[in-house]
Amino acid sequence: QKEVEQDPGPLSVPEGAIVSLNCTYSNSAFQYFMWYRQYSRKGPELLMYTYSSGNKEDGRFTAQVDKSSKYISLFIRDSQPSDSATYLCAMRKDAGNKLTFGGGTRVLVKP
């Protein structure tokens, strides 16, 4: 079993809809959680970073962490065709430690 699980998709939504993404993990030592967006043939771009449990909002993006359930989520409001990409979750145990990634979810936002 992988340490971090993520549904590969694709997840197809109409423009303007809310995109809901999530990851589950098995290692309770993870404390730092990140979401990356990756366009085809490009390097991942950091979208959101959260520490421990709670919510964080940045523009159209909201990240949630529920450590008791070992579950993290990313919500994208008012989705745009330019949001079509692969979204990767990542997490680490402490500062300076290696990142462990989920497999990524491909998202398609249709005009």
Interface with other proteins (CB under 8 A):
4, 6, 8, 32, 34, 36, 41-46, 49, 51, 88, 90, 92, 95-96, 98-99, 101-104
Tell me the closest approach of the beta carbon of residue 63 to other proteins, in angstroms: 13
- Tell me whether residue 62 is exposed, middle or buried, using C-beta atoms within 10 angstroms of its C-beta: 0 to 12, 13 to 18, 19 or more: middle
83 phi and psi, to 5 degrees?
-80, -5
Structure tokens at 101: 């990634």
Tell me the closest approach of the beta carbon of residue 31 to other proteins, in angstroms: 9
CB nearer to other proteins: give 17 or 31: 31
Residues 6+ apart with CB under 8 A from 73: 20, 21, 22, 23, 63, 64
Tell me the closest approach of the beta carbon of residue 103 to other proteins, in angstroms: 4
CB nearer to other proteins: give 9 or 17: 9
